[in-house]
Amino acid sequence: MNDEEPVLLHTEGRILHITLNRPRALNALTHTMVRGIDEALTLAADDDAVTAVVIAGAGERGLCAGGDIRSIYEDARAGRRASVDFWRDEYRLNARIARFPKPYVALMDGIVMGGGVGVSAHGDVRVVTERSRVAMPETGIGFVPDVGGTYLLAAAPGELGTHLALTGRAVGAADALLCGLADHFVPSDRLADLTTALAPSRTPAEVTATVRRYATDAPDGELAGHREWIDACYAADTVEEIIDRLVDSGVPAAKETAAGLLTASPTALKVTLAAVRRTKRLGSLEAALDQEFRVSCRAFAGHDLVEGVRARIIDKDRAPRWSPAEPADVSAADVARHFEPLGDQELGLATA
């Protein structure tokens, strides 16, 4: 094992450990890392000596902060298409994780955002800690939740998923459990003992039983106490009406949420709302990923993604100049265009 590699593999007992190894970049995913994880899963699926896979992040800050946004920005600015190739392989990996034939244990400690959600929350044994901050923050950079995020959020209770998709808000352990983004809470200081205890597991049942033995109740979250206004406001048909309801609710937290939405990309907000609502009717993760691929390709060719990354990541002036600048100026045709088929460039997971 070369400690300089961006994905580290090692075996403890009957468990294959995959470690994302770019701690200074918060383990942000590159195309090389996506391929490395996929290759590791191929080996693990065919190896009778491997009972389960555990994925974690190197360093103390988190599992993974998402995709390498700077690379996407530079790719779009230069008129290249490497990001589209990256998403194609990344979304295929997300689907593979969801269908992996052995227990896939994701240690979602610390920051888990965007692509980090994609390599963890589709697993069947998902562990959060008191340090977990889980989010799909794409609308703030002019993008739309991807990596199966619309599928996960569409399945959350009530309108919680719509709230998280539009705001990009990070949630802690209890709220991740409430929204179906995680399964178990394990205190961070017990993770090392948990991984050691997993080593001799010979069956999927033993893996699950071991995780449950280390799990406990999560500290109280926030979303359950906000369900009334979240469900009422986000049930509206349009972004404009959602914002109006938030402002008129009389709830300070709702008004603050409205103010935050008004700083996000209007196009991204409208496409995100449509994506989450459409996903509820699609019926499978694969179909959702196919839809997300169309949306991502269209967003990549648009204005707001490059501008959002410039304002948030590159220049850090936090003053994006969205185009259009107001939700009312984003037409239904503008939104629909993001969902149009890509012809022979389709991802095609649902029909594979």
Catalytic-role residue among 109, 124, 146, 159:
146
Q: Nearest 5°: phi and psi at 56?
A: -150, 170
Catalytic-role residue among 62, 115, 116, 123:
115
Tokens of 201: 């597991």
89 given a catalytic annotation? no
175 given a catalytic annotation? no
CB 144 within 8 A of CB 296: yes
Catalytic-role residue among 57, 67, 110, 161:
67
Q: Are strands 7-12 and 104-108 parallel, antiparallel or unpaired?
A: unpaired
Catalytic-role residue among 138, 290, 292, 304:
138
Q: Half-sphere exposure of 11 toward its Cβ, with a 13 Å CA cutoff? A: 13
How many other β-carbons are positioned within 10 Å of the β-carbon of residue 219?
A: 10
Q: What angle do CA 183, 184, 190 make, to 5 degrees?
A: 150
146 given a catalytic annotation? yes
CA 139 to chain centre: 12
315 given a catalytic annotation? no
Catalytic amino acids?
Answer: 67, 115, 138, 146
